[in-house]
Structure 1
């Protein structure tokens, strides 16, 4: 493998950020494995298109069956990657699922399912991948977060925002626990891109339709306007490719130069300012604990 080129797993790579990231990393010369569910059925076309792109452009790009809601699937995916490429250097945690509707109208089981995909799914992949990265004494975890964890929280997206906030907290703790193994962390924070992904098109909705309907009288107009106002926050020249480009830039940086957190926020919702303050507070907290060496050197930037 050429110097500086890595073997990379991108989860949730059938569409949106994940697919763009897989393609962009492969075009940068990396060996990329695009993880996705249902490669033989629902996502068969997506898997075939990636394989075809690899052949046409002479890229090392392939798909692997990966359902982040199954530990056995995560274990098998990592085994396949190691068989194909002999190593694994980077995991891009991108798989996720959005839901729309009044928070009260989601059943507890639905809330748990959103958490399972967005948070527990990363844990399954980590448990499958980290033994290899720790054994190598090197690696990188890239977590694709959301500016909602740092900026405003529009209504009617609560389960998704709550799960993304939990994933962000998990990523921060993992960063400190993995740094001495030579495994770096970068949290990539996209803003409110409302086109170019399937987040909204594939979003889930509340099962409790009776409770959902109870909100229509007082909030029906607001709910309708949210769908219009969120896209209005995004400049017309915003391009989801910028998220993939930033992930590729981070991967290509030297280990000691990668940002702990990086924002791609066309709407400028203020989340980057909040992150700077939060990271400085965290750095001071670690210093007072006497364990500042567990924090990446650039985490307080």
Structure 2
């Protein structure tokens, strides 16, 4: 196995932490990035340090704020100083907003777009020049099944994840000629193992919420409904399954990595949607004469 230098954003908890641990156990040098290492996230840093010591793996905490281009560039400078290269970036950092869409303010909408989509551009603007110089690299994105199958009560979140995935896909075509691979990992909803729902933000315009009567109350039953769907499908998927999926896809040879992989405990069927979109996209790109951009190639 070729040891890779990997940065995982938003690695303090949930899926990001699971991915960072899985990749470290696989033998890679993994930077688990998050904000406020010495303040808000000090406990998480200490937990990662204990894990690294117990498992004897190379898992390092990295100060990185995905909302700050300066912070991202400083973080990648540190990685290059310590290791001399950057092989993989996992764009995972994100936030959740739950509630009636109309009740979220434009400022809230801008915030979630900034965190879940624009941050991917910031991170890539720092990572891509390094990977182009190396003539290789992998960009991994943690997407969402909601980008394809939309749901009520998480409108801002859906819009931000769909925007992020669209940006990731467009950038993948432009990066492919330089030997840079892209993979979008598409998890379903995990009701345990993350702080996603516990840390969700609600709408600020409460007067609007009251105009929807009893409709917002239906939110309370969705968590239980998801758990029922999980039990029916009985796929046995957890947040650790996402970490394993990222590890497995990075083990694949150059040019053989799938563009999207789904880890969905509810089995919504987004793979079928992706297959149809992929076929139509290939046909259109062939007519445009740019089908070669759909697969990375060695420069």
For Structure 1 versus Structure 2, the TM-score category normalised by the shorter chain is over 0.9
Structure 2 residue 176 is matched with structure 1 residue 179: yes
Label 1:49 to 1:223 Cα distance change in 2 as closer, same or farther (>3 A). closer
- In 1, the alpha carbon distance for the partners of 2:147 and 2:99 equals 18
Report whether the alignment pairs 1:18 with 2:16: yes
Aligned residue pair count: 294
Q: Give the Cα separation in 2 of the matches to 1:54 and 1:81.
A: 18
- Superposed displacement of residue 214, structure 1: 1.8
Question: Helix, strand or coil: the match of 2:138?
Answer: strand
> Per-residue deviation at 1:250?
0.7
Match of 1:223 among 219, 222, 236: 219
Q: Whole-Å Cα distance in 2 between the matches of residues 195 and 104 of structure 1? A: 28
Map 1:1-301; keep pairs closer than 5 Å.
Answer: 4-151=2-149, 153-215=150-212, 217-235=213-231, 237-296=236-295
Distance 1:54 1:268 in 2: 33
Q: Distance in 2 between matches of 1:221 and 1:211?
A: 14
Taking the aligned partners of 2:165 and 2:240, their CA distance within structure 1 comes to 22
Q: TM-score, normalising length from structure 1? A: 0.94
RMSD across aligned positions (CA): 1.4
Deviation at 1:228, TM superposition (A): 2.7
Mapped partners of 1:55, 1:19: distance in 2: 16
Q: Report if aligned partners of 1:188, 1:247 keep a CA contact under 8 Å in 2.
A: yes
Offset at residue 4 of structure 1 (A): 1.1
SS at match of 2:184: strand
Unaligned stretches of 5+ residues in structure 2: none
Contact 1:119 1:166 in 2 (8 A): yes
Gaps of 5+ in 1: none
